[in-house]
Each structure stands twice: as structure tokens, then as C-alpha cells.
């Protein structure tokens, strides 16, 4: 079929007698029913999309939920972050120890340079940890909004505001402590392995500064 044929097909159809056209009353009724069904389905889908969007929990309600539950606080102080804080802060101590062992070889300028490096590193580390806490909290709020509907958040608020809900919340620190006791040994072992790989390079960098 050519483009010209496709263009003129509707005109040719209109020029034919009504009885010879392929569209009968029955098929027309069927087509109308199909069109109506499609229209209804589109309306339902559109309504569902609007409802889903409207049911996204507000930030205020999520913050209300977090004020009742310590989940975000536990995440901000989880085992991995505690291990990170405890072990990474020990790096400046290693630097100080290495410098102390060889301080007789240091000039005043080198001592001052290393002291500045240690101070800046500790300050940067503290800022990074605080930044991570805020980032974790914000990300948790976003995750709650992506996971729960407003109705589900409201239901949790109602539950955790009840007597039973408060009893469960009181046991959350115990649950976290039991979890930490179970996983800290393996995490600490992994950190120690990592530190063994980092310390030689760290000492080499310190010695490079010392031996300038």
C-alpha cells in the first residue's frame, strides 16, 4: 500500500454506500464500549497517581514519628560509625608517636608542619562525622517518605504514642546493645586488618616529612 493510497483511503470509504461499509452497528457499539473502557482505565490510573502523590508523608509527620522513635539516632550512632571514629582518630596518635620517636631529627619548621597536619586532620574528621550524621538523618527521612504512605506514618505515630508502643520503644536501646555485642568483634577484626595495611603507608608519609 502506497502513501497515496493511505491518504485517500478515508475518502474512498466515505464514497461507498452505507450498507457496503465494513463498520456495522454491532462493531460500532463494540468500538464505543472499548473506548469507554479505555477512558475509565485512564481515569482510574490518573486518580491512583494523584492519590499516591497525595499520600506521601509530610516532613512534619515524619519528624513527629522520629521524635517518638530513636531509629534515626541509632543509625547516626551505629556500629560502623563508632568503629570508624574510634580507629581513625588513632591515626593522629600514630603520627605523634612516630614524630616523638624521631623528634630529635626534626627542625622547628617540621614540628610545626606536622602539628598543623594533625590538628587540621582531627578537625576535618570531626566535621566529617557531624556531616555524616546530618546526611544519615536526612536520608532516613527521605527513605521513610518513599516507603510509607501518610496513613501508615500516622498509624505508627498512634501506636508509638500508646502505652504498648512506649514499652517497645524502651526496649530499643537494649536491642541495639545486644546487636552491637553480637557484631562488634567481627567488625573490629575487619578494621584491624584494614589498619594494618594503612599504618605502614602512614608511617612512610610521616617519615617523608621528617626527612625533608
Residues 29 and 128 in one domain: no
Query: Greatest CA span in the chain, whole angstroms?
Result: 112
Cα 138 to Cα 144: distance, rounded to the nearest angstrom: 10
State how far the alpha carbon of 43 is from the alpha carbons of 31, 67, 78, 193, in Å.
18, 39, 46, 59
**Euclidean distance between the first and final Cα of the chain, in Å?**
85
What percent of the chain stands above pLDDT 70? 60
Supply the mean pLDDT for the chain: 72
Residues 30 and 89 in one domain: no
Residues 62 and 48 in one domain: no
Section 111-120 average pLDDT: 78
Q: How many domains does the chain have?
A: 2
Query: Which of 53, 73, 95 corresponds to the end of one domain?
Result: 53
pLDDT band with cut points at 50, 70 and 90 for residue 167? very high
Residues 9 and 35 in one domain: yes
Residue 151 has pLDDT above 90, yes or no: yes
Q: Is the dihedral of CA 18, 24, 29, 35 positive or negative?
A: negative
Residues 67 and 108 in one domain: yes
More confident residue, 77 or 44: 77
Cα 130 to Cα 1: distance, rounded to the nearest angstrom: 70
Residues 14 and 27 in one domain: yes
Measured in whole angstroms, the distance separating CA 111 from the mean position of its chain's CA atoms is 42
Cα 56 to Cα 70: distance, rounded to the nearest angstrom: 22
Residues 9 and 37 in one domain: yes
Q: What is the pLDDT of residue 202?
A: 85
Residues 93 and 190 in one domain: yes
What is the domain range of residue 66? 58-210
More confident residue, 157 or 197: 157
Residues 36 and 63 in one domain: no
Tell if the pTM clears 0.75, that is, is over it. Answer: no
Residues 117 and 41 in one domain: no
Q: What is the pLDDT of residue 126?
A: 66
Amino acid at each position: 500500500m502506497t502513501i497515496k493510497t493511505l491518504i485517500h483511503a478515508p475518502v474512498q470509504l466515505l464514497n461507498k454506500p452505507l450498507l457496503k461499509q465494513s463498520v456495522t452497528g454491532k462493531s460500532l457499539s463494540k468500538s464505543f464500549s472499548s473506548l469507554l473502557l479505555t477512558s475509565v482505565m485512564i481515569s482510574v490510573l490518573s486518580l491512583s497517581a494523584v492519590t499516591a502523590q497525595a499520600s506521601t508523608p509530610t516532613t512534619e509527620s515524619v519528624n513527629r514519628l522520629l521524635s517518638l522513635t530513636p531509629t534515626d539516632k541509632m543509625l547516626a550512632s551505629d556500629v560502623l560509625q563508632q568503629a570508624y571514629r574510634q580507629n581513625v582518630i588513632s591515626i593522629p596518635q600514630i603520627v605523634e608517636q612516630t614524630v616523638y620517636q624521631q623528634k630529635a631529627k626534626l627542625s622547628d619548621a617540621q614540628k610545626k608542619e606536622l602539628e598543623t597536619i594533625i590538628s587540621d586532620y582531627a578537625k576535618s574528621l570531626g566535621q566529617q562525622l557531624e556531616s555524616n550524621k546530618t546526611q544519615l538523618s536526612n536520608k532516613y527521612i527521605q527513605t521513610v517518605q518513599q516507603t510509607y504512605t501518610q496513613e501508615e506514618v500516622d498509624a505508627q505515630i498512634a501506636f508509638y504514642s500508646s502505652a504498648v508502643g512506649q514499652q517497645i520503644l524502651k526496649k530499643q536501646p537494649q536491642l541495639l546493645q545486644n546487636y552491637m555485642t553480637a557484631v562488634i568483634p567481627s567488625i573490629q577484626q575487619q578494621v584491624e586488618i584494614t589498619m594494618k595495611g594503612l599504618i605502614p603507608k602512614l608511617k612512610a608519609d610521616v617519615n617523608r616529612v621528617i626527612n625533608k
